[in-house]
């Protein structure tokens, strides 16, 4: 199976499963719509409000990750599951966020004092974005619930499959970005853009899930693909 066939197979699976649960495409927009009034309500509470807003954001992220995990494993997603959907991945996401918070607490002051600190910070964040890119998939497919374990699982995966993983992710990211710019020029953009970009976000996450599922544990095939396409 070459890369195009691999991506095509993941894309077909994505369309097929979303076709059976098309209503889930509206979830990202619905969650975004919830965040705005909650943020406005909690904002005047200062630090406490910020903490509560972070917990709400984590809960909504965990709920969305649950939906993605169910879609990737081919299970039907029902609306009645949503009130309990956040509990599955809330703490794994919190654990990862806590690791990042602790790291930033020590690293950011050092970068702020360093010459060219801003450039170093951008370079560091770009590197971390690549290495930690597969953390969501490691959480719900590998069952890694510890913060450090999830991060290291992503690093290991990216080290093995960075070519196969980053090519479609960069393409999807570009589609997401430029698509939003185009849609932003259309009439009723305030409605169209959140709906379309939210639906695309969910589709991208499901595609990533199938791609991770296909690549993980296929070292021999991965090496053959690299040799065929001139990689290491």
Q: What is the pLDDT of residues 42-58, one digit of tens each?
A: 878 888 888 888 899 99
d(CA 37, CA 97): 23
Alpha-carbon distances of 157 from 64, 96, 184, 224, rounded to whole Å: 22, 17, 35, 17
Both tokens assigned to 232: 């290491």
At 232, the pLDDT band (50, 70, 90 cuts) reads very low
Both tokens assigned to 216: 């993980």
In the chain, what are the domain boundaries?
A: 3-228
* The CA-based dihedral angle spanning residues 139, 34, 186, 183, taken in that order and rounded to the nearest 10 degrees: -10
Other beta carbons within 10 angstroms of residue 199's beta carbon come to: 18
* The CA-based dihedral angle spanning residues 170, 173, 179, 181, taken in that order and rounded to the nearest 10 degrees: -110
- Check: CB of residue 103 under 8 Å from CB of residue 132: no
188: left (phi > 0), else alpha (psi -120 to 50), else beta? Answer: left
Region 101-117 average pLDDT: 81
The whole-number pLDDT of residue 46 equals: 81
What is the value of pTM for the model shown?
A: 0.85
- Check: CB of residue 39 under 8 Å from CB of residue 53: yes
The whole-number pLDDT of residue 231 equals: 43
Interval 71-90: pLDDT, tens: 999 888 888 889 899 999 99
- Check: CB of residue 107 under 8 Å from CB of residue 88: no
Instruction: Return the beta strands (E) in the chain as ranges.
Output: none
Which range scores top for mean pLDDT: 75-89, 108-122, 183-197?
A: 75-89
Both tokens assigned to 77: 């997603």
């Amino acid at each position: 199976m070459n890369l195009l066939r691999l991506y095509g197979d993941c894309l077909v699976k994505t369309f097929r499963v979303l076709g059976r649960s098309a209503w889930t495409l509206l979830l990202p927009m619905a969650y975004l719509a919830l965040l705005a009034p909650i943020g406005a309500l909690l904002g005047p509470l200062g630090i406490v409000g910020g903490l509560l807003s972070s917990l709400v954001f984590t809960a909504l992220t965990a709920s969305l990750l649950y939906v993605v995990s169910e879609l990737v494993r081919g299970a039907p997603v029902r609306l009645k599951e949503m009130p309990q959907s956040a509990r599955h991945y809330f703490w794994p996401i919190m654990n990862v966020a806590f690791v990042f918070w602790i790291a930033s607490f020590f690293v950011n002051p050092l970068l702020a004092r360093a010459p060219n600190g801003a450039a170093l910070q951008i370079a560091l964040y770009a590197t971390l974005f690549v290495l930690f890119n597969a953390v969501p998939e490691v959480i719900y497919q590998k069952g890694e619930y510890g913060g450090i374990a999830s991060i290291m699982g992503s690093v290991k995966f990216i080290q093995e499959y960075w070519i196969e993983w980053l090519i479609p992710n960069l393409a999807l990211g570009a589609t997401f970005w430029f698509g939003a710019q185009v849609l932003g020029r259309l009439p009723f953009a305030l409605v169209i853009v959140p709906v379309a970009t939210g639906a695309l976000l969910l589709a991208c996450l499901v595609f990533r899930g199938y791609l991770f599922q296909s690549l993980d544990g296929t070292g021999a095939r991965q090496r053959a693909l690299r040799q065929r396409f001139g990689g290491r």
